[in-house]
Amino acid sequence: MNFVPAHETASRPRLVVIGNGMAGIRTVEELLSRAPDKYNITVFGAEPRVNYNRIMLSPLLSGEKTFDDIVINPLDWYQHNNILLLSGDPVIHIDRAEKFVISRSGTKTPYDHLLLATGSDPIIIPVPGHKLPGVVTFRDVDDVDTMLAAAENGGEAVVIGGGLLGLEAAVGLQARGMAVTVIHLASHVMERQLDGSAGHLLQEELRRRGITVMTGADTAEICGTDRVTGVSLKDGHHIPASLVVMAVGIRPNGRLANESGVAVERGIVVNDVMATSDPSIHAVGECVQHRGLCYGLVAPLFEMAKSCADDLAGINSTGYGGSVTSTKLKVTGVDVFSAGDFSSGPDCDDIVFRDAGRGVYKRIILFEGRIRGAVLYGDTSDGAWYFQLMKDETDVTDLRNSLAFGQAFAGGSATNPIDAVAALPDNAEICGCNGICKGSIVSAITEKNLTSLDDVKAHTKASASCGSCAGLVESLLAATLGGGYQAASVKPICPCTDHDHDNVRRLIRARALKTMPAVMQELEWKTPDGCHICRPALNYYLLAAWPGDYVDHGASRFINERVHANIQKDGTYSVVPRMWGGLTNPRELRAIADVADKFNIPTVKVTGGQRIDLLGVKKQDLPAVWADLNSAGMVSGHAYGKSLRTVKTCVGQEWCRFGTQMSLGMGVALEKMTWGSWMPHKFKMAVSGCPRNCAEATIKDFGVIATDGGWDLHVGGNGGIHLRATELLCKVTTEAEVREYCGAFIQLYRETARYLERTAPWIERVGLKYVQDRMVEDAQNRATLFARFIESQKTAQIDPWAERATGGVDAHEFKHLTAAE
């Protein structure tokens, strides 16, 4: 994980950064943009990983994001900027007199300037049992991994704390299948951000999702002997639990600074340029105290980073003057926004808007004609506008009558979203997750000729995290480029919905939707039962998301899959029994011949996948044909399926004088491991016994070519109309590695590809590097993918459509399955 630069420039001073998190690395980014050659930079990180977006931990927990999705700066960023990264090695001592730091591994590193970005520590309430195994906090990826491991076994979870983090943890765990109870000491959830009315609406939404919320609940004890078994409250209630999440708050981590003699009160005391009591030491982020205040939200941290970078770069600036903060809840389908002070008072005016039918609540607090605070629930589209008016201390007296209706009706005249965002000042914050203002986005658009939302994400990070500001960014693109901008069109799955494939997959996981009616209800399908386009796709996505829970819906599959045969132009069917790796034997051949004679099947053909195709089978004969073939031990070749089709082989080292490895055995092993797999589309494999490649492995979805030293693994080929050669995934040496890579590749493909997307266009869309990063570079993730694949294969063998494909189907069931035809 660590990167060591090739060299240091002796003339440059040394900057050591303690903390590889969002605040410290944002400061480094800002410094590099101002003075890229000023320092030799060393970064120490306590976690054994690169810089990632901590505020995206809740989507990581719920399954909406992967770790790669939330990485801010990958390893090559450190390399490109010649930064020495020492991750997983926290600093344990600072010697201010001699100006060096010592890490846990014993590494001694001198500094000329030191930047402290040590963040905050979670508060653990010291009730009995708080140290039991099964009690976790929610602050980093390791905490998420712990919760995910607990969620694999199901059961009950208790979240102590109904603030931002607590609710996000609760929703994430519920999406992972746990029964969740939130216990909160205050009278309503998120009391620091929401008033009672908005808190009530949020609680009701959480309860509707199946999460129990107990307010006014005071924890007495966490129960258990060897590990957590439950939580007892002071009023006598007992809640069973195998996992307890502490999410009751944070405190600045000033331990290192305090031990070294730097001034620390609640946090590390800093001035407006983020310098501490030691002029050679700066501090930023949740660890600091500025003008008596400590901040736990990301926007102030990024503002601090700019002021600190100015000072480190030798640029005179006004410095950091403190922050007005806003908050959004990162829970899919729940829109909550809060900013400023909503406590009101005798000198304040409240403007309240309620729409019970839509579940919308807005409250704007005015003081002397200016916005003092705002709370929005259900419709947060005007949050940025209210927030900017509040930060600018704009007199809104003339807007009062229409203020509750938002920016579109400001001053009594409606405007479109493009005009609305164009009217915002350059310092208006557009992306709260990454602290990106309008001016920065507009400058990037004009200076770098950006023309799409993806371009803006790549160059500015705006909308690259939770995505809630994507609409604002697109409006900025339209306002900046005028007629030259064309919004990226979202292609819905079908006319029944406005959602595309990717969004449906994400929401199925995020909202724990486990039936087709639930998906259509929650995602507001326009038709009552869907159509022939969306139903097969939903059936696949539900099976992929919940392989152990979801019961495959045979009636939502195409006719070929329902009858386990390919329909032909004359209305008859083609039956293809499976031949493992292209191998057969006299018994199977006799069975095929007998079936052809018995049912007067007119054509028997050897297929391109080394199997025998029985063409011209009458529909009413299909059950009996399969019964006879099954009696000879032959199962379906799934020639009709969105599944594994064939594994083509050459005779390899078993027979061929040029063979370098046992390709026949490998082909049979791969086919037996993967048959019956449900896929987004058909999937073909091949194993060639030497580089002569007689099995044509380089035009298959997964191709294996034997070499003297092992096996070359190829992916993403297609021999159809649009010919595409494979790309080399990697080289391996053992048969076990071939099997693991094969299963992991299939699992990654079916978890991330769109329905009816072959591996060739999938890899063209996501990139070979995306696949290699998750399989070749990350051995642990590869093993995890392979384990999920093997587990899903157990489900595939008992799945109704796979069972029927073995030939075990009677006439009554067959008639029922095909009744729709």
What integer pLDDT is reported at residue 24 of this predicted model?
Answer: 97
User: In what helix (H) or strand (E) does residue 715 lie, and over which residues does it extend?
Assistant: strand 710-715
> Above 90 in pLDDT, residue 731?
yes
pLDDT tier, 462 (very low <50, low <70, confident <90, very high otherwise): confident
Strands (E), 149-280: 156-160, 179-184, 212-215, 219-223, 230-233, 238-240, 243-246, 250-252, 268-270
Model confidence at 134: pLDDT above 60: yes
pLDDT at residue number 418: 75
Neighbours of 31 (CB within 10 A): 24
pLDDT band of 487, cuts 50, 70, 90: low
Q: Give residue 814's pLDDT.
A: 39
Which range among 398-412, 569-583, 635-649 shows the weakest confidence by mean pLDDT? 398-412
Give the span between the Cα atoms of 314 and 38, in whole angstroms: 10
* d(C-alpha 472, C-alpha 486), whole Å: 15
Mean pLDDT over each residue of the chain, to the nearest integer: 87
Q: Binding site membership for [4Fe-4S] cluster: which residues?
A: 650, 656, 690, 694
CA–CA distances in Å: residue 4 to residues 17, 19, 101, 136, 710: 15, 17, 18, 33, 32
DSSP codes joined into one string, 452-466? SHHHHHHHH-TTSSS
One-letter amino acid of 86:
L
Q: What is the pLDDT of residue 607?
A: 85
Q: 212 pLDDT exceeds 90? A: yes
Indicate the pLDDT class of residue 595, thresholds 50, 70 and 90: very high
Higher pLDDT among residues 125 and 470, named by residue: 125
Least trusted range by pLDDT, from 9-18, 504-513, 716-725, 803-812: 803-812
Mean pLDDT of 392-420: 75
Q: Residue for token digits 């604002």?
A: 472
Q: Which residues fall within 8 angstroms of residue 138, CB to CB, at 6 or more apart?
A: 57, 122, 144, 147, 165, 166, 168, 169, 245, 246, 247
Residue 604: the pLDDT is: 92
Residue 805 pLDDT more than 70?
A: no
276 within 8 A of 118, measured Cβ to Cβ: no
Res 92: pLDDT: 97
Residue 400 confidence (pLDDT): 86
Compare 601 and 721 and report the one with higher pLDDT.
Answer: 601
The 10s digit of each residue's pLDDT in 744-767 is: 999 999 999 999 999 999 999 888
- pLDDT for position 489: 61
Mean per-residue pLDDT for 634-662?
Answer: 88
- Given a cut of 60, whether residue 668 has pLDDT beyond it is yes
DSSP string of 229-267, one letter each residue: -EEEETTS-EEE-SEEEE-S-EEE--HHHHHTT--BSSS
Q: What is the rounded distance in angstroms from the CA atom of residue 568 to the CA atom of residue 557?
A: 17
Which residues belong to the annotated binding site? Answer: 650, 656, 690, 694
- Say whether pLDDT at 115 is over 90: yes
Residue 284 has pLDDT above 80, yes or no: yes
| CA separation for the pair 789, 785 (Å, rounded) | 6
Token output for 587:
């018994």
Written as six digits, the tokens of 439 are 């001016």
Tell which wins on pLDDT, 628 or 463. 628
- Provide mean pLDDT across the span 567-593: 89
Percent of residues, the chain, with pLDDT higher than 90: 53
pLDDT, tens digit, 9 for 90 and up, residues 218-245: 999 999 999 999 999 999 999 999 999 9
Res 344 pLDDT > 80 = no
Nearest to 206 by CA among 499, 506, 468, 512: 512
In contact, 581 and 667? CB cutoff 8 Å: yes
In this predicted structure, the answer to whether residue 4 has a pLDDT above a threshold of 60 is: no
Q: Please, what are the domains in the chain? A: 14-119+252-312 (3.50.50.60), 135-248 (3.50.50.60), 501-556 (no CATH), 560-636 (3.90.480.10), 644-800 (3.30.413.10)
Q: Is residue 812 very low, low, confident or very high in pLDDT (cuts 50, 70, 90)? A: very low
Residue 801 has pLDDT above 60, yes or no: no
CA end-to-end span of the chain:
56
What pLDDT score was predicted for residue 818? 41
pLDDT digits (tens, 9 = 90+) for 89-102: 999 999 999 999 99
Q: How confident is the model at residue 741 (pLDDT cuts 50, 70, 90)?
A: very high
pLDDT category, 3, cuts 50, 70, 90? low
> Token digits for 294?
């400590």
Q: Which residue has the higher pLDDT, 528 or 188?
A: 188
Q: Which two tokens stand for residue 486?
A: 């064309």
Which candidate, 453, 458, 473, places its Cα nearest to that of 74? 458
pLDDT of residue 817: 37
pTM of the entire structure?
0.66
More reliable by pLDDT, 45 or 469: 45
* Binding site listing for siroheme: 694
Residue range 281-303: mean pLDDT, rounded: 94
Q: Is the pLDDT of residue 495 over 70?
A: yes
The whole-number average pLDDT for the span 213-217 is 94
* Token code pair at residue 754: 């769109």
Residues in the chain: 821
| pLDDT for 381 | 80
Q: Is 372 helix (H, G, I), strand (E, B) or coil?
A: strand
pLDDT band for 27, please (50, 70, 90 cuts).
Answer: very high
